[in-house]
Structure 1
């Protein structure tokens, strides 16, 4: 995954810039708010016996700061989600993405269910990157993007019938392989992003028309139904 040396360096530089931006934003908002809450609560603790009225005021100020920081943290997280996912579900966005690519088809397997936004965002970025590499390097006539909902896993597979390449020959290098396929920079970034979610990302390919498959799997536990959760909370109750 990823482009040749220059493209891989550009992607890595973009990741570092985004990381620096997030670090600065978190420092100026959430970190500062936590510091304020710590100071307010520490002052309230000192005043609790001598001036309980002032202590209660300080606690209320700390609670207000906590609410503001929670809203700010949610805004930052919301801004991290791909804008495309605001238009619809992951399957719909992937279907639309394939419709804009010549020879690309989308397949949905399993029953869609709500999953964390960070997981949907990572899989969408993986699909976008894989399709971009097919367009630039594979000389493929057919591409199939498959999204699979399994009981405990959400999986994405992008298969193409292009010229293929040898992943082992380019692993660890920032230059393209013999057929103009990308080096390992983008794949390392993809694996790192998916590893943060506890998942795996692999590439299977072979040169000389063997095609390529990019596979991403992320664990997504099935949510426990509310009725079952309530039953477990009642002493002596049994499900089934």
Structure 2
């Protein structure tokens, strides 16, 4: 019998930690007025739309609220709503910016009220504690909550103001509180999700000859903060500091 024949048949468990790419962190803005997350509603154009038309009629199997400023893509044609609308099975008329091309009857678009921040070069939500502490055996130990948890973040993208999501970030950043408020969702590749109501700071525009321009804003916690583990059988939002 050789040594190889004496190897144990049963292998020990491999406890090497999994690793995840930070570049797969996704950042979304939650559409204004959203009361739930919608990720794949089918919106149907129920009346043929001519080029330069400023109204259209849309329907959805389930009643779907679509806020003003939403970009809907029918085939290769994008239209932007200029008023709120609730698409129903019976159809509903909505005002739009002049259609750049004709849209055929029964053409469909997929609607999500999660607006992904395009090509984010940086997105780094940082949580910190707002607690009174004392030193116990040389360690900083919290003894009571003062303001609970805080969150700050920097969001930087190489996309420009001609992208509707970037335009929205800039519009918020150029507004005074509370008109600069957004709900931002960060989705990590390991299944951790963070949802925060934040104030968007004034945009910083970075551009130099020979380089790609960037738009950067800050996001500072101004309201509710919640997290979820998407690996759970039934994920739920757990609000931080909820009593």
Of structures 1 and 2, the one scoring higher in RCO (CA 8 A, sep 6+) is 1
Normalised by the shorter chain, which TM-score bucket? Answer: under 0.3
Higher share of residues assigned strand: 2
Whichever structure has more helix as a proportion of its residues is 1
TM-score w.r.t. the length of structure 2 is 0.25
User: TM-score, normalising length from structure 1?
Assistant: 0.26
